[in-house]
Amino acid sequence: MKSYREELWFQTKERREYRNITPQVERVVQQSGIQEGLVLVNAMHITASVYINDDEAGLLQDYEQFLERLVPQKGTYRHNLTGEDNGDAHIKRQIMGREVVVAITNGRLDFGPWEQIFYAEFDGRRRKRVLVKVIGE
C-alpha cells in the first residue's frame, strides 16, 4: 500500500464562503498514481468544513440561511468573551463536519450522482488549508 499527501490552501474574500474543491481533489488523486483506495479530505482549521453534496446555487444559499438561523453570527457566545468574534463559526463547523472520505476506483473519485466535495469557510479572510491524503494501490 502507498500513500500520498498534499495540502490545498484557500483564502476567502468573505467571512463565509462555499467552494467546490472537487477539481483540486481529483488532481491530487491523479498525481498520487493510486488506482484503488481511499482519499481523505479534511479541513485543518476549526472554523472550516469539508462536506459532500450537490453543486447547486439554491442549495448553497439554503445552507447559508439554515446555518445562520441555527447559529447566528450575532448570537451570544461565551467563546467571544475571549476577545474572538467567531463562536458561531466553531459551531457551524461542528454541524457541517470536518472531513470526507471518498473511494477511488480505477484512479477516479467514485461518487454517487451529483456528489461533489466542498470547502466551507465560516470565519474567512485569512489563509487556511485542507489536507488531502490518498491511500491505496
Average pLDDT over residues 41-50: 98
Name the pTM for this structure.
0.95
Alpha-carbon distances, residue 107 vs 27, 37, 49, 110, 133 (angstroms):
11, 9, 25, 9, 14
Q: Are 91 and 123 in contact (CB under 8 A)?
A: no
CATH of the domain at 24: 2.60.120.460
Number of domains within the chain: 1
Q: What is the mean pLDDT of the chain?
A: 97
Domain hosting residue 88, numbered range = 2-136
> In this predicted model, what pLDDT tens digit does every residue of 60-118 receive, in sequence order?
999 999 999 999 999 999 999 999 999 999 999 999 999 999 999 999 999 999 999 99
Q: pLDDT tier at 5 (50, 70, 90 boundaries)?
A: very high
